[in-house]
Each structure stands twice: as structure tokens, then as C-alpha cells.
Amino acid sequence: MKTLQVRSNRPIEMIDISADVCKVIREAGVTEGIAVVFTPHTTAAITINENADPDVCHDMVKAINKIVPTQDGYRHLEGNSAAHLKSSLFGASETLIINNGELRLGTWQGIYFCEFDGPRQRQVQIQVISR
């Protein structure tokens, strides 16, 4: 298992970690298998989406903020209930296929670390499993 350190700079942010995940897979030397990308934080998430147009991330952040507003009478004393909800909606992990030593992502797909309670120093754990 490899742990990446990710630093967010804004309260809500989508950070492209695709190159870092690909590097971990290359270093593992696995040609056929899977990679599990996981974040051990309850106010963050991992997702796959378009990485060609940065406006997609902007639109996703705008939409998730409409679906789960920052303030909505939540009872959690820490004041970050919206971040917990967003994390659960997106999910803490993604499982990716490795074929011929490369990730099988679509042409426009990238892997994102989603920060919902930043800025913070975070971790992303990657487990590469050979077939």
C-alpha cells in the first residue's frame, strides 16, 4: 500500500490525483489487476469524472453545494455536517482496472480527491492488487 499526501487550499475543492495514482501503479509493476484508491477521512471523497475541462469540477462543486448547503440547521456540533453528507454521497473509494500496466480510464476521465472541509492536509491510500 502507498499513501499519498494531498494538500487542499479551499473549503471545497476537487484535486486531480490521476498522475499520482498512475505513478504508484507503475512503481508497483503490476500489469494486470486492480487498484483501490481510498481516503480515510469522513469529510473527503474519491471520484472519477472528466479532467479535460476544469469547468466540470466548478459545476460539480456548484451543484453539490445546492444539493447539500453548508448551513441548513444541522445538529452536529463541529459545524461540518454538510462535508460529512457530501463525502457519503461521493464515497470514500474507487476501484480501478489495471490492464497492460495502465489504468483503464476513459479518454476524458480523471481521478479526483474531493475536499469538503478544507483547507487541510489529507491522505489518499492506494492498494495495488495483482491478478
* pLDDT confidence of residue 117: 98
Q: Which of 36, 17, 54 is nearest to 91 (CA)?
A: 36
* pLDDT confidence of residue 77: 86
Tell me the C-alpha distance between 111 and 15, whole Å: 8
Q: Which residues, given as ranges, of the chain have pLDDT below 70?
A: none
Tell me the C-alpha distance between 128 and 74, whole Å: 38
Question: What are the grid coordinates assigned to 51, written together?
Answer: 479532467
Name the pTM for this structure: 0.95
- Residues of 27-45 as b/e, b for ≥16 C-beta within 10 angstroms? ebebeebbbebbbebebbb
Residue 96's CATH number: 2.60.120.460
Q: Is 72 helix (H, G, I), strand (E, B) or coil?
A: coil
Structural domain of residue 62, as residue ranges?
2-130
* pLDDT confidence of residue 88: 98
* pLDDT confidence of residue 61: 97
What order of strands is seen across the sheet that includes strand 44-50? 13-16, 109-115, 44-50
Question: What are the grid coordinates assigned to 105, written together?
Answer: 480510464
8 Å CB contact between 14 and 108? no
- Total structural domains within the chain: 1
